[in-house]
Amino acid sequence: GAVVSQHPSRVICKSGTSVKIECRSLDFQATTMFWYRQFPKKSLMLMATSNEGSKATYEQGVEKDKFLINHASLTLSTLTVTSAHPEDSSFYICSAARAGEGNTQYFGPGTRLTVL
Amino acid sequence: GDSVTQMEGPVTLSEEAFLTINCTYTATGYPSLFWYVQYPGEGLQLLLKATKADDKGSNKGFEATYRKETTSFHLEKGSVQVSDSAVYFCALSDRGQFYFGTGTSLTVIP
């Protein structure tokens, strides 16, 4: 158990458009979901933490109006990159914490975003 | 504040060699410790974890022991395989916050 999926796995978009990435916990309810960004050959940078039904908590330096996070249910969180620019190109990874196992995060397979 | 320090890579080993990837941590609370593995182009997979001092996490031949006295959680495997080639991340969870090391790239050559 503890499978997390992301969709799409890859997306290429034009500069100025918005892109939505979905993160789903397939076989458990996630009390908290996390969004990370990973640059090539680098570690993960936490962007925001979201709890179902409440506003996301963004890390310092992350623009909340640019990276919109919605956590509509205990199994789904979405990240929307608004007005994307080439510098937003990156690997975005979500993770989910299972209820009763709060200190373990289960990661999705990641989404490769390329903005032209 | 809390932090994780892991040995810099890249690490290159021959098949069947012994692997150690060092990880030390700093924490103000009582953290849980994790090793995650990332294969090329994929997300992170939980490899093993330990939630309290002296616990040993193990999975797929990998082991790590939570050593509070040395604040360490070194990853070991007795005999690596080509399929173990990946990036390994040490991480800790403390009071709801997650902290990652910078990752260590491992390449195993036949």
Smallest CA-to-CA distance from B72 within B97, B54, B46, B58 is with: B54
Question: Contact B44/A107, CB-based, under 8 Å?
Answer: yes
Q: Measured between CB atoms, does A60 come within 8 Å of chain B?
A: no
Query: Which residues neighbour A38 within 8 Å (Cβ) at sequence distance 6 or greater?
Result: A44, A45, A90, A91, A92, A93, A110
Question: Contact B100/A43, CB-based, under 8 Å?
Answer: yes
Question: Contact B42/A109, CB-based, under 8 Å?
Answer: yes
Point out the residue among B32, B36, B102 whose CB comes nearest to the CB of A103. B32
Spell out, as residue ranges, where chain A has pLDDT lower than 50. none
Shortest distance between the Cα of A42 and any Cα of chain B, in A, equals: 6
Chain A residues within 8 A of B42 when measuring between CB atoms = 109-110
Q: Measured between CB atoms, does B41 come within 8 Å of chain A?
A: yes
pLDDT tens-place values along chain B, 110 residues long: 889 999 888 999 999 999 999 999 999 888 999 999 999 888 889 999 999 999 999 999 999 999 999 999 999 999 999 999 999 999 999 877 888 999 999 999 99
Strand partners, A67: A81
Strand partners, A22: A7, A78
Chain B residues within 8 A of A34 when measuring between CB atoms = 98
Confidence (pLDDT) at A102:
61
Confidence (pLDDT) at B103:
92
Confidence (pLDDT) at B72:
97
Point out the residue among A41, A43, A107 whose CB comes nearest to the CB of B43. A107
- The identity of residue A109, as a single letter, is P
Give me the residues of B, 68-107, that contact A with CB < 8 A: 89, 93, 96, 98, 100-103, 105
d(CA B104, CA B88): 5
Question: Contact A107/B89, CB-based, under 8 Å?
Answer: no
Confidence (pLDDT) at A4:
93
Chain B residues within 8 A of A105 when measuring between CB atoms = 46, 93, 98
Confidence (pLDDT) at B101:
92
Query: Which residues neighbour A60 within 8 Å (Cβ) at sequence distance 6 or greater?
Result: none
Question: Contact A110/B103, CB-based, under 8 Å?
Answer: no
Q: Measured between CB atoms, does B59 come within 8 Å of chain A?
A: no
Confidence (pLDDT) at A77:
94
